[in-house]
């Protein structure tokens, strides 16, 4: 398995490093999988603050994956998809579709309120997840961890992210 450098961003107007259970879960889970938590930040739910952090990480050749938690709902301040989508070189429609399908078994029709998205930008994979720890756990254990595992087949993102061939 190739160890990947992964940055974790929490989007929240209220959370701090001490109270951010979702971000803490993602860091713990990725490290348990052998990856490196290279950056971790919390920003307010503001399109330009989100975009500034994510753009910096996309430009950093040492970061291969970005996990974003929060800001994907329908409240007026939820703006993560609007902030991140314009940064994508390629959208990964299948991630949002699969996340909602998997979530349906856990939360039923409430999954339609998830605007989880993913994409690729400058050879960096970006996953944007809901802010609940349960949603982060579902996304990590059922989808993301497999796609960041070089042994998972028939395909995964590791070769793309570690060879620079795209």
Share of the chain above pLDDT 90, in %: 81
What per-residue confidence (pLDDT) applies to 76? 81
d(CA 166, CA 163): 8
d(CA 159, CA 22): 27
What per-residue confidence (pLDDT) applies to 165? 53
Q: Which residues contact 150 (CB under 8 A, 6 or more apart)?
A: 1, 2, 156, 158, 159
Threshold 0.85, pTM exceeds: yes
pLDDT tens column, 92-149: 999 999 999 999 999 999 988 999 999 999 999 999 999 999 999 999 999 999 999 9
What per-residue confidence (pLDDT) applies to 162? 85
User: Where residue 27 falls among pLDDT bands split at 50, 70, 90?
Assistant: very high
What's the mean pLDDT when you consider all of the chain? 93
What per-residue confidence (pLDDT) applies to 4? 96
Question: What element of type H or E holds 138?
Answer: helix 133-139
Mean pLDDT value across residues 49-63: 97
Residue spans of beta strands (DSSP E) within 55-157 = 65-69, 90-91, 117-121, 124-129
d(CA 1, CA 24): 23
Q: Which residues contact 19 (CB under 8 A, 6 or more apart)?
A: none
> Which residue from 41, 49, 89, 94 is spatially nearest to 69, judged by alpha carbons?
41
What per-residue confidence (pLDDT) applies to 164? 60
User: Where residue 28 falls among pLDDT bands split at 50, 70, 90?
Assistant: very high
Mean pLDDT value across residues 57-68: 97
Domain that holds residue 22: 5-163
Can you give the CATH number for the domain in which 86 is found?
3.40.980.10
Distances in whole angstroms, Cα of residue 152 to Cα of each of 115, 156, 157: 26, 6, 10
Count of structural domains, the chain? 1
């Amino acid at each position: 398995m190739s160890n990947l450098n992964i940055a974790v961003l929490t989007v929240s107007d209220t959370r701090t490093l001490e109270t951010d259970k979702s971000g803490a879960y993602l860091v713990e889970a990725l490290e348990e999988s052998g990856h490196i938590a290279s950056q971790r930040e919390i920003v307010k739910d503001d399109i330009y603050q989100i975009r500034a952090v994510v753009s910096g990480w996309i430009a950093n050749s040492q970061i291969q994956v970005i996990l974003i938690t929060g800001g994907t709902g329908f409240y007026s301040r939820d703006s993560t998809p609007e902030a991140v989508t314009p940064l994508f070189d390629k959208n990964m429609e299948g991630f949002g579709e699969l996340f909602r399908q998997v979530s349906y078994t856990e939360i039923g029709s409430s999954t339609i309120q998830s605007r989880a998205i993913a994409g690729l930008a400058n050879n960096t994979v970006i996953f944007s997840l809901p802010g609940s720890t349960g949603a982060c756990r579902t996304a990590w254990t059922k989808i993301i961890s497999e796609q960041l595992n070089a042994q998972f087949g028939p395909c995964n993102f590791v070769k793309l992210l570690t060879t620079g061939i795209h």
